[in-house]
Chain A
């Protein structure tokens, strides 16, 4: 997500901070968190577990939620997930 107009489009409705947690806890908490959100809303997930880089896209494709953007800030990965 480097293009500035795409950044503006990434309006988040909620943030889940999973920094410091290791596999499988970021995914487990993510699955819990999306139950609180409505269809079409965007969740920002922050994680620093290196496994999350592959796990979050895999989780999204498996559950039918859309990964609309990712960002890397130092050691922190940011995922933007649109709820199905």
Chain B
């Protein structure tokens, strides 16, 4: 670590948990790269101690295959912003990730990419089958569920009778 200059040590000493969080926030989701892990609500608590840094990630689905790639990217970023500090990047299910964790900006970005954002989850996390999901292309409210399952764990496939096209929607879960 001889290459570390006094400037850098000062800069590092001034870094707080919010700075670490900001440095991680724009990591794109590998399967939905139009949104970041912060916008999707995957990025959880960030704790920065003098001799360790801990980051909690909330997997969207237990079997999400992208989560290990997200973890590796987080570790790379941590190695840049707080070099040499032992890092613990943990997957947590408490509280569980739910589609309600996707914020307004994330929803807008999904819709702009042609993927309908999830509707609100009902009490107890029940999905609402007859919920109105607007077509991300034409805004039609008449879309219907085509397949509960889609190209990734977190997406369903719907059909818009006005565009006469299928589209993907993020699951309410």
Chain B binds chain A:
no
